[in-house]
Amino acid sequence: MNDKVSKTLFFLIAAVYAGVLFSSSAQAAYLGDKIEYAGYLETEVWIKNNNDNGHQFLTSLKNELDLGIAYKLSDNWSFFFHPRYFYDYAYSIRDDSSFDENQEKMGHTQRTEWLRDCYLDFTSPQLDIRLGKQQVAWSQADGLPFILDRVMPFNLSYFWLPDFADIRIPLWMAKVEYSPWLNSSIQFLFIPDFEASRSAPANSAFALKSVNAWDNFKKLNESMGGTAEETLYRPHQDFENSRIGLRWRSMTGGVEYTLNWLYGHTPSAYTYTDSFTPVIPTTPFGNYKVSRRHKVVHVIGGSFNKSFLQPGPFEGWTVRGEFAYIHDEPTYYGTEGSRRLTESCDKYNWFIGFDRYFFTNWLFSTQFAQMISADEEKQGYHILSGYTYGVMEDVENIATVKIATDFMHERLKPEVLVIWSDDNDGRIAFKTQYEINENLWFTLGYYHFWGPEYGSNGQFRNNDHTFCEIKYTF
């Protein structure tokens, strides 16, 4: 899709949505309270603050239109339709060949991604059923997606920086929740749909170091007379390959807890070297056959949440935590910056967090998490980060701190989130929202990274970004 067609399509859809809003308003007047809608128009700007040349430059100028329409069919049945469309004008403004080559993947809405949600709801005192395209979140962690937030695939075009609700990729599924008694429910997920998680393409602003390294190696290997044949294997979308999830939620002694189980193919694809024939002896240059595969894994875990309301030393504090055991998760092994093999490995991930409000409206939240691998080495190679191919230990420690508050009667809302690992690798995310009026919001933020070259966040240590957005809601 070229620039001209994309722009035309954007304005055409905007006009269609305006017509939908107008007709919805008329219908709402006729149908009473059966139809509701809400949405926003947003312009978002991302500017890279540091790079090898020391110059700032534009990485995104995204314009987005989002609309949600809910129609009440009866007391128990309702329908929700949620399209979203965007176009990034940075690819029209910048004259940069390495930047422009990613326009097709990053510059506009892809395939059916314009449809965020589309589902039919049945609600009753004991039974809720949601059928259609939707997203499910099991986690309550701040900035830590690797524990229980594994139901949905993710779009990491901007790494983990946006809100998780915006980067989860919704799936067509059936979600059934039954409450056998008060404050207890069992949730069943049946997911015949499949979408793969995705990362930013090579040479884009937040391309993973491992993605850039493979792209650079392929070009160098080709110049040396080698080839790289890549094959992508994805599960067929049928009942046999459906993913299944169960979650039991209940309360006991003032503690809310869940027990979770998920079975099916991983949304992330993992790289396997199927064959290699060298063209230059004792070098890595040659003819490669590489495959990208989604493997079947089990996830078993749980979570808890406890608020202390009674007078005492813990009054006002909330304690929360999660645990996940991941059986046979594909894992990379090799040397610093170089993957040698991909093997299955059991993982144990957990976190505990403490939250409290001080001075009425100052939220302080801190978390401690660990990622534990059962096998630190295989065939003499070390376990690697999937983001960078950096060497990892069998136990990785991570700590976070989040502080948020509001001023001017909740019109100004600043917050900061710091994520740090024991490898001195981390990032700071600062964001503040200002309500200009009832429907108009302005947001300003800054992301700072630090750490070693092969650390998850350190890979972007020369990639600090300032972003701002203006959003009109309706």
Query: Is residue 94 very low, low, confident or very high in pLDDT (cuts 50, 70, 90)?
Result: confident
- What pLDDT does residue 100 have? 65
User: How far is 267 from 151, CA to CA, in rounded Å?
Assistant: 8
Q: Provide the 3-class DSSP secondary structure of residue 369.
A: strand
In this structure, which amino acid lies at residue 114? W
- Residue whose C-alpha is closest to residue 78's, from 38, 124, 111: 124
User: How far is 202 from 74, CA to CA, in rounded Å?
Assistant: 49
Residues 36-88 have pLDDT tens digits of 999 999 999 999 987 655 567 899 999 999 999 999 999 999 999 999 999 99
Residues 385-422 have pLDDT tens digits of 999 999 999 999 999 999 999 999 999 999 999 999 99
Percentage with pLDDT > 70 across the chain: 91
On whether the CB atoms of residues 108 and 89 are closer than 8 A, the answer is no
For residue 176, pLDDT over 90 is answered with: yes
Give the count of beta carbons closer than 10 Å to the beta carbon of residue 24.
18
If you search the block for the tokens 């976070």, which residue do you land on? Answer: 400
Strand order in the sheet with 227-232: 227-232, 286-293, 270-278
- Residue whose C-alpha is closest to residue 353's, from 416, 314, 402: 402
Give the count of beta carbons closer than 10 Å to the beta carbon of residue 322.
26
Give the CA distances from residue 329 to residues 333, 347, 381, 449, in Å, rounded to whole numbers and listed in that order. Answer: 13, 7, 17, 28
User: How far is 258 from 279, CA to CA, in rounded Å?
Assistant: 55
**How many angstroms from the chain centroid is the CA of residue 474?**
26
On whether the CB atoms of residues 308 and 315 are closer than 8 A, the answer is yes
Cα Dmax for the chain: 78
- Residue whose C-alpha is closest to residue 69's, from 56, 58, 83: 83
Q: What is the DSSP string of 130-162?
A: EEEEE-------SS-TTSS--SS-BEEEEEE-S
User: How far is 320 from 342, CA to CA, in rounded Å?
Assistant: 34
- Residue whose C-alpha is closest to residue 199's, from 188, 207, 189, 190: 207
CA atoms within 13 A on the CB side of 9: 16
User: How far is 44 from 62, CA to CA, in rounded Å?
Assistant: 5
User: How far is 424 from 6, CA to CA, in rounded Å?
Assistant: 43
Query: Is residue 27 very low, low, confident or very high in pLDDT (cuts 50, 70, 90)?
Result: very low
Q: Between 253 and 418, where is the model more confident?
A: 418
Average pLDDT, the chain: 91
Q: How many residues belong to the chain?
A: 474
Helix extents (H) in 380-464: none
- Mark 126-151 as b/e (b = at least 16 C-beta within 10 Å): eebbbbbbbbbebbbbbbbbbbbbbb
Residues 104-153 have pLDDT tens digits of 788 899 888 999 999 999 999 999 999 999 999 999 999 998 899 999 99
Residues 267-292 have pLDDT tens digits of 999 999 999 999 999 999 999 999 99
If you search the block for the tokens 């993913």, which residue do you land on? Answer: 243
Residues 428-472 have pLDDT tens digits of 999 999 999 999 999 999 999 999 999 999 999 999 999 999 999
Domains of the chain: 124-473 (2.40.160)
